[in-house]
Amino acid sequence: MEKMRLNKFLSEAGIASRRKADDLIKEGRIEVNGSVVTELGLKIDPAKDIVKYDGEVVKFKKYVYYLFHKPAGYITTFKDERGRKTIFDLIKINQRVFPVGRLDRDTTGVMILTNDGNFANFLMHPKNKIPREYVVTLDKQFVEPLNKLKKVNLEDGPVYVDSIEFLDFSKRKLKILLHEGRNRVVKRIFSKFGYTVKALHRKSFAGFNVDRIPVGKLVKIQPAEIKRIYKQYDEN
């Protein structure tokens, strides 16, 4: 493995930001191969050198992030005991990743895949209010006033809809924006009013969309975009 600066190693291992990692080094809290290091700018080989933080070995893991355009007919687990197709039948990458949240088998659209548990938890935690935008197709014309959907009381508590609008004159197709990701929440919202969701497409998640990604394909998310998400939503 190519050598890298010690502060970058500590940052990518999830210990601290590079700036904070420099502080840890200056404080004498970092060891490399059994010796305390206080020199900034030191380069190490993550595959060979043993790094400790406050006496504990730091395990390096290169985090990866992907944007995936989920097709209908696939479930979002690694394996299915009933033999159904999963998204991992389509995904061919070297790293082991997992989906951030789940989409139902028949739901299409944006998914984020990663091996970074902290980032996944950040996206899923309700307090961060990460936006999710859906296009919903119903079994019949929606005749209720749209403002009825602003707050819907479900069996696991109220859900708040940030915006909703019709997308065509049939009043069967709507766009809905939420800032939470409870299980089957969109389908349960409309079921509350006696409607069945015939098609559901997650158009965007955390500001990402898959409009330019072919169905069933994935592309890498650049680290700068991950930093943008942390900066934008950590203020909530």
Does the annotation mark 211 as catalytic? no
Query: Angle 117-124/223-233 helices, nearest 10 degrees?
Result: 40
**What are the phi and psi torsion angles at 183 (to 5°)?**
-60, 125
Q: Which residues does residue 205 pair with via DSSP β-bridges, in sequence order?
A: 132, 208
Strand 30-32 relative to strand 35-36, pairing: antiparallel
Active-site hit among 104, 116, 156, 168 = 104
Whole-number Cα distances in Å, 42 to 25, 30, 63, 174, 182 = 10, 12, 22, 55, 45
Check: CB of residue 196 under 8 Å from CB of residue 190: yes
Q: In 3-state terms, the chain is what percent helix, strand and coil (to 5)?
A: 20, 30, 45
Spatial separation of the C-alpha atoms in residues 89 and 79, rounded to whole Å: 9
Tell whether the torsion through CA atoms of 122, 124, 125 and 130 is positive or negative.
positive
The string over 19-57, giving b where at least 16 C-beta atoms fall within 10 Å of a residue's C-beta and e elsewhere, is eebbebbeeebbbbeeeebeeeebebebeebebbbeeee
Token pair of 28 as six digits = 């004498």
Q: Which residues carry out catalysis?
A: 104
